């Protein structure tokens, strides 16, 4: 009787995949630990230096966010009063009226069972309730487009709410500005329209600060930012050009079922770990390289900016022509342009906390939307090469880096699923199983424990198991949004949508003082 010889390990596809994933995840774990040792470190009162207050022109583009305006004003106005010369611009858009008409058309034929947050996430709870009552009053089985339009027209637009809130002030406040953008562009166009109306005496001393309406930057965050600006000016002789305030993500358990709450918590934690292992290290590496003399081929890395907590010096913002409006999203594309011009993007060593998706449907839509940035890279290369920005080899390098990052995101879920299958497989060879187990450990257990320890909350064995399992589930779901984006593009031939791919914000905003990511 002859025994079948096993093929050599180096000829095993599973081995090479598991080993590659393990190597990438172990390096990611190393970056997480380095970032945690660098960011959010406590500073004693005695070591804090007195710095001049910075001037921030906070730009908050809003769309379908009527319920958030009063709270945003209540937060930002007192915060900015301590920064003389700073302003707050709430930027509404005529696009909201057009989208409301489109929503009314989509509501035609909707039954009472269809009037849910999952089916129409763009509508508020009040709007859904009013539509349901109107439908009941007609005695019909479904809505008509005309009735839906009539009901929706009874609710104020975000521009109406901003106007009403400002009218409540006892007297006009020069700190607050309401800009109404009348074009059909999206967030980037709104920001650019607001900046065009700003007049500054010292453009190289003032910053455009882009935040979302549910952003809650704390006083400590602004103090840390001012200290960082002062340090960079002392080192470089000028204020930094661009500063990115990176974010951690937290959920508030708004979903009605335990499994959806758990899955969204895991996805939020996985996104936080991505910030710590990829976003911040890449920005630090790019900024260091951009400040060094660069004479070799290609680019010194590729900055990947995020359109939240983004501070851009006014003269730099105008130098690069503002945020790009020809792409589907603006954040990654803006980093591409900054890289071409050799402008460093500094990562602030202090993170903020932002709300994460609370429902799986919202999570998938958000992930699909974010992946659009990676699909924008070819358009960036074509436009800016035609306009004379960057050499051909610069664009080739940027596209290579962008393609690698996009593919890494696309392959997160398949690679994680493969490693899990290998670990659980009874006939898998031991070296392959060890490599796969190492990959999973470095992506879930070790970073989850490191994150909790850095927050001063060491985990029990049970807590470690629960959080690691949630994070694993988040990773298994991570590639669904990107794959949906590619599938929708292939099926429709376009990545543009009539409705802005966002939902109404239904949770209480988080702040930088909230460090609970359970």
Q: Can you point out the beta strands (E) in 272-392?
A: 310-313, 345-347, 352-355
What's the token pair of residue 90? 């709430």
Per-residue pLDDT, 514: 43
Among 87-91, 309-313, 474-478, 500-504, which stretch is predicted with the lowest mean pLDDT? Answer: 500-504
| DSSP string for 162-214 | HHHHHHTSSS--TTEEEEEE-SS--HHHHHHHHHHT---S-TTTEEEEE--TT
Per-residue pLDDT, 12: 82
Per-residue pLDDT tens over the stretch 164-197: 999 998 888 889 999 999 998 999 999 999 999 9
Query: Taking a C-beta distance cutoff of 8 angstroms, is the pair 365, 266 a contact?
Result: no
Among 315-319, 403-407, 417-421, 509-513, which stretch is predicted with the lowest mean pLDDT? Answer: 509-513
In the predicted structure, residue 437 carries a pLDDT above the cut 90:
yes
Q: What is the DSSP letter of 443?
A: I
Percent helix, strand and coil across the chain, each to the nearest 5: 55, 10, 35
Per-residue pLDDT, 515: 43
Q: In what order do the strands lie in the sheet with 55-61?
A: 176-181, 87-93, 55-61, 206-210, 310-313, 242-244, 345-347
What's the token pair of residue 284? 């630090």
What is the rounded average pLDDT of the residues 15-20?
Answer: 94
Per-residue pLDDT, 87: 96
Query: Taking a C-beta distance cutoff of 8 angstroms, is the pair 126, 155 a contact?
Result: yes
Among 2-11, 390-399, 419-428, which stretch is predicted with the lowest mean pLDDT? Answer: 2-11
Q: Please report how many Cα atoms fall inside a 13 Å half-sphere around the Cα of residue 513, on the Cβ side.
A: 4
CB atoms closer than 10 angstroms to residue 508: 13
Per-residue pLDDT tens over the stretch 138-157: 888 899 999 999 999 999 99
Per-residue pLDDT tens over the stretch 247-270: 999 999 988 899 999 999 999 999
Length of the chain: 518
Per-residue pLDDT tens over the stretch 264-290: 999 999 999 999 999 999 999 999 998
Helices (H), 237-330: 258-274, 280-291, 314-319
Query: Taking a C-beta distance cutoff of 8 angstroms, is the pair 95, 63 a contact?
Result: yes
Query: Taking a C-beta distance cutoff of 8 angstroms, is the pair 309, 217 a contact?
Result: yes
In the predicted structure, residue 298 carries a pLDDT above the cut 70:
no
Distance CA 163, CA 168 (A): 9
Distance CA 76, CA 57 (A): 11
Query: Taking a C-beta distance cutoff of 8 angstroms, is the pair 21, 419 a contact?
Result: yes
- Distances in Å between the Cα of 4 and the Cα atoms of 1, 7, 197, 425 are 10, 9, 77, 20
| DSSP string for 4-65 | PPPPPGGG-HHHHHHHHHHHHHHHHHHHHHHHHHHSS----GGGPPP-PPPEEEEEEE-SS-
- Distances in Å between the Cα of 344 and the Cα atoms of 207, 234, 394 are 15, 16, 16
Beta-carbon contacts of 156 under 8 Å, excluding residues fewer than 6 positions away, are 66, 164
Q: Which of 274, 282, 316 is nearest to 301 (CA)?
A: 282
Query: Taking a C-beta distance cutoff of 8 angstroms, is the pair 330, 338 a contact?
Result: no
Beta-carbon contacts of 303 under 8 Å, excluding residues fewer than 6 positions away, are 242, 282, 283, 286, 287, 290, 335, 336, 338, 339, 344, 345
Per-residue pLDDT tens over the stretch 310-366: 999 999 999 999 999 999 988 899 999 999 999 999 999 999 999 999 999 889 999
Q: Any idea of the CA torsion for 393, 399, 400, 405, to the nearest 10 degrees?
A: 150
Per-residue pLDDT, 428: 81
In the predicted structure, residue 5 carries a pLDDT above the cut 80:
no
The residue that leads in pLDDT, 2 or 70, is: 70
Mean pLDDT of the chain: 91
- pTM for the full model? 0.92
């Amino acid at each position: 009787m002859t025994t079948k010889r096993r093929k050599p390990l180096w000829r095993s596809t599973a081995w090479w995949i598991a080993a590659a994933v393990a190597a990438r995840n172990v390096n990611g774990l190393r970056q997480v630990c380095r970032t945690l040792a660098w960011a959010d470190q406590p500073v004693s009162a005695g070591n804090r230096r007195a710095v001049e207050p910075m001037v921030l022109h906070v730009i908050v583009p809003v769309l379908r966010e009527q319920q958030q305006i009063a709270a945003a004003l209540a937060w930002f106005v007192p915060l900015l009063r301590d920064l003389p010369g700073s302003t707050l611009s709430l930027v509404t858009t005529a696009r909201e009226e057009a989208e409301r008409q489109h929503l009314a058309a989509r509501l035609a034929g909707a039954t009472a069972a269809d009037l849910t947050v999952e089916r129409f996430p763009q509508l508020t709870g009040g709007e859904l309730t009013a539509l349901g009552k109107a439908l009941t009053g007609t005695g019909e089985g479904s809505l008509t487009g005309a009735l839906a339009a009539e009901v929706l027209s009874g609710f104020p637009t975000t521009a109406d709410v901003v106007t009403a809130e400002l009218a409540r002030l006892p007297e006009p406040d020069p700190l607050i500005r309401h800009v109404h953008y009348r074009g059909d562009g999206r967030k980037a166009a709104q920001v650019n329209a607001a900046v065009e109306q700003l007049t500054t005496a010292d453009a190289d001393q003032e910053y455009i600060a882009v935040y979302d309406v549910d952003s809650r930057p704390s006083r400590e965050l602004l103090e840390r930012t001012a200290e960082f600006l002062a340090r960079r000016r002392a080192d470089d002789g000028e204020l930094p050009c661009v500063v990115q305030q990176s974010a951690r993500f937290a959920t508030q358990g708004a979903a009605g079922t335990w499994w959806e709450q758990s899955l969204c918590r895991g996805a939020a934690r996985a996104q936080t770990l991505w910030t710590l292992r990829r976003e911040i290290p890449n920005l630090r590496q790019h900024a260091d390289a951009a400040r060094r003399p660069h004479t070799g081929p290609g680019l010194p890395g590729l900055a990947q900016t995020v359109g939240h907590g983004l501070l851009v010096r006014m003269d730099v913002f105008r130098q690069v022509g503002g945020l790009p409006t020809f792409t589907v999203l603006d954040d990654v594309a803006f980093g591409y342009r900054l890289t071409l011009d050799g402008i460093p993007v500094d990562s602030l060593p202090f993170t903020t906390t932002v709300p994460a998706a609370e429902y799986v449907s919202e999570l998938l839509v958000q992930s699909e939307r974010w992946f659009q940035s990676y699909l924008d890279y070819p358009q960036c290369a074509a436009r800016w090469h035609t306009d004379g920005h960057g050499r051909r080899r610069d664009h080739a390098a940027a596209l290579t880096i962008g393609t690698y990052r996009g593919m890494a995101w696309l392959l997160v879920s398949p690679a994680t699923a493969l490693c899990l299958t290998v670990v659980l497989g009874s006939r898998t060879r031991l070296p392959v199983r060890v490599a796969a187990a190492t990959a999973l450990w470095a992506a879930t257990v070790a970073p989850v424990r490191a994150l909790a320890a850095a927050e001063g909350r060491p985990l029990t064995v049970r807590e470690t198991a629960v959080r690691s399992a949630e994070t694993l589930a988040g990773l298994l779901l991570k590639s669904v949004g990107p794959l949906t984006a590619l599938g929708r593009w292939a099926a429709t031939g376009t990545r543009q949508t009539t409705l802005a791919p966002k939902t109404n914000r239904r949770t209480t905003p988080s702040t930088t003082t909230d460090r609970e990511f359970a």
